[in-house]
Amino acid sequence: MSLFGKILAVLNVLIAIVFLVLAGMVYSKRQAWSYSHFRHQVAIHGLPVTDSDETWRLPGRTISRDLSNSTLKEMFADSGGSEVRTQIDAVNDIKRDIEGGANGQADEAGRKQYLANYLVPQARTGEDRERFQQMAFDRMTPASALQGELNKIFEDAVSGQLTADKGGQARDLEARRRAIADVLYNVSSDLNWHKRVQTVVGLQHYIGAADRQAANLQQMATRLNAAIVDEQNAFVRQYRSLMPELQLLSEKVKDLDGKLKEQQDLLQKHTVLRNARQTEVADLNKKIQEAVATVATETATLDRLQKQLFALQQQVATAQKNNQDLERRLRTQETGR
């Protein structure tokens, strides 16, 4: 081989090496771009509903096949909680957490309050909200009834068909995504939880769920305002119908106030008289006690005098007897009889 041929051979080898290096670099960059595109698509559309979900990918290439453990760990790093591969897994995960939290409460009232904190925000209408609140406040309603309502909401969200009262038709994955987004959005107002919901359902359905919930709350507020206006009007009508009676009662109250004032004045006068009489009674009681003591002293003196008089009367009787005996003896001496 000539020198020129050898030079060409070396150049071909160098060019081949450069081509392989460039090809590797291009492939690596393509893989990085492909992964970045996949992550952005997941951020927009969310996790797959099921393992077989291939909604926004090429046919036959499911979303879950490219969700490695490291990818999931990276996606859920900011929001915390366990990593899930599908949206159904996320719903089942929070369902288990709520059931565990309810079972960990100390008593029935605690379980009902705990479940009501999750159930009431799931209401789509004012009627449902009032019904859930009534269940929470009603002592006769067990906590299991609230748990049943929550389970029904979670099961309807992930179900592949509508409930019987809504026709029972099959639901496509997009409808299930909206239902799951609505349920997860309303589970909690915690910031980390909403970061998790954005990761699970994607920004597109997260924003849709926020808009739908805002519309629901607006309808509830409108209904509540209408109820407030109706109650105010009913109150005004009832108040106006009671005005004549209120005026009559007001006049009676005024009359009774006058009589009460008279009675209070009379009571004050009688109180003064009573206090004076009590003072007099106290003075009389004191005088009576003093008189009783004096009478007792005088009685003792009289008793002593009576005893002395009785003794003197005895002495007089004895002296009279002695006198009679002397007179008899004198007469006997005089007469000799």
Q: What is the mean pLDDT of the chain?
A: 86
Model confidence over 313-328: pLDDT tens digits? 888 888 888 888 888 8
Cα–Cα separations (whole angstroms), residue 106 to 111, 118, 139, 160, 273: 8, 18, 16, 37, 65
Quick check: 30 pLDDT over 90?
no
**What is the model's pLDDT at position 334?**
75
Q: What is the mean pLDDT of residues 16-41?
A: 68
Model confidence over 160-202: pLDDT tens digits? 877 666 666 788 889 999 999 999 999 999 999 999 999 999 9
Quick check: 21 pLDDT over 70?
no
* Ramachandran angles phi, psi of 53, nearest 5°: -70, 125
CB contact set of 142 (below 8 Å; sequence gap of 6+): 108, 112
**What is the model's pLDDT at position 168?**
65
**What is the model's pLDDT at position 101?**
94
- Angle of the 173-185 helix axis to the 191-335 helix axis, nearest 10: 40
* Ramachandran angles phi, psi of 170, nearest 5°: -70, 150
pLDDT confidence tier of residue 247, bands split at 50, 70 and 90? confident
* Cβ pair 222, 63 in contact under 8 A: no
Sort 48 into a burial class: Cβ within 10 Å, 0-12 / 13-18 / 19+: buried
d(CA 73, CA 84): 9
By mean pLDDT, which of 15-19, 28-32, 117-121, 268-272 is the weakest? Answer: 28-32
Question: Three-class SS of residue 14?
Answer: helix
Quick check: 27 pLDDT over 60?
no
**What is the model's pLDDT at position 117?**
94
Q: E strand or H helix at 225, and its extent?
A: helix 191-335
Please tell me which residue, 169 or 230, carries the higher pLDDT value.
230
Residue written as token pair 């009379």: 266
* Ramachandran angles phi, psi of 286, nearest 5°: -65, -45
> How many Å separate Cα 181 from the centre of its chain?
28
